[in-house]
A and B are shown apart, each in its own frame.
Chain A
Amino acid sequence: MAGCKGGLGGEAPHVLAVDDSSVDRAVIAGILRSSKFRVTAVDSGKRALELLGTEPNVSMIITDYWMPEMTGFELLKKVKESSSLKEIPVVIMSSENVPTRISRCLEEGAEDFLLKPVRPSDVSRLCSRVLR
């Protein structure tokens, strides 16, 4: 699979993956790493925000929609409401194809909405669109 081009200095883009399922975290991390992304995977929106507060160079966030305590949509809103984080592209993943959910996320500023199970081809498409 073709890898993504790096950012400044050719460094691989850093992607933050958020999913409460350990299986899905492993799968999305594996797909991202095979596309030459640097990946940090966390299990909740809360942990994602903690990391975003300390890690300045996150190029993209990819998050599951349905998570306990904080949904991916709520995480998206918090990112887009933050002056320091709002430029980070956010991609939502869900196993349910609910048109109103998809349009709500896109209206809130999500870059893309992926249906699970996520495929390597989905990530390749993201790379060319989101991380230009």
Chain B
Amino acid sequence: LVLQGYLDEQFNQLEELQDDSSPNFVEEVVALFFKDSPRLLTNIELALEKYPQDFYRLDSLAHQFKGSGSSIGALRIKNECSIFKTHCNGRNLEGCRRSLQKMKREHANLKQKLETYFQLLRQVGPQECAVNSWK
């Protein structure tokens, strides 16, 4: 319930890679994402405020953010990045601005959800959480 709708199958695949030698693999990868992603979002924001806008660069920055998000299974972030890229292709500045705000909200929401999830994991144990994460 904690993560329903926020993550896709990729997250489940990463959880299945965890074993005794890498017990915190998913949390480590997620930490890398949240360490790197604020910079990507800031770069998109700065690029949006430049005049004239470089929609090719904006698309490239969104592509990076989408790629990282996809790698951890961040479904909503991935989808919003696709919308942002569509606005870039249409040179729709207002659309890009609206989409960026959504990306930032989804980013903050996911961070909060995952922090809760990993806290829960530490309390109840990994098997119990893995079973419930897709309900």
B16, A21: Cβ atoms closer than 8 Å? no
Question: Which of B21-29, B50-58, B99-107, B121-129 lines the interface with chain A?
Answer: B21-29
- Pair count A-B, CB < 8 A: 54
| A34 neighbours in B (Cβ, 8 Å) | 17, 19, 22
Within 8 A of A (CB), among B1-51: 10, 13-14, 16-17, 19, 21-22, 25, 28-29, 32-33, 35-36
Q: Which of A22, A26, A33, A117 contacts B10 (CB 8 A)?
A: A117
Asked whether A95 and B66 contact (CB < 8 A) given A30-B14, A33-B22, the answer is yes
Asked whether A23 and B17 contact (CB < 8 A) given A30-B29, A33-B22, A95-B66, the answer is no
Question: Which of B67-75, B88-96, B112-120 lines the interface with chain A?
Answer: B67-75
| Assembled-state Cα–Cα distance A46/B35 (Å) | 24
| Assembled-state Cα–Cα distance A117/B36 (Å) | 17
B97 at the interface (CB under 8 A from A): no
A120, B17: Cβ atoms closer than 8 Å? yes
| Majority DSSP secondary structure for residues of B touching A | helix
| Assembled-state Cα–Cα distance A45/B10 (Å) | 26
Q: How far is the CB of A109 from chain B (nearest CB, A)?
A: 25
B25, A117: Cβ atoms closer than 8 Å? no
**Chain B residue with minimal CB distance to A22?**
B32
| Assembled-state Cα–Cα distance A116/B63 (Å) | 12
**Chain B residue with minimal CB distance to A96?**
B63
A23, B32: Cβ atoms closer than 8 Å? yes
Asked whether A27 and B29 contact (CB < 8 A) given A33-B22, A120-B13, the answer is yes
| Assembled-state Cα–Cα distance A117/B68 (Å) | 9
| B73 neighbours in A (Cβ, 8 Å) | 117
Contacts A26-B32, A30-B14 supplied; 5 other A-B pairs, CB < 8 Å: A22-B32, A23-B68, A30-B29, A66-B63, A119-B10
B contacts, CB < 8 Å to A: 10, 13-14, 16-17, 19, 21-22, 25, 28-29, 32-33, 35-36, 63-64, 66-68, 70-73
Could you give 14 example pairs across A and B, Cβ below 8 Å? Answer: A21-B64, A21-B68, A23-B29, A23-B72, A27-B29, A27-B71, A34-B19, A34-B22, A96-B63, A116-B70, A116-B71, A117-B71, A119-B10, A120-B17
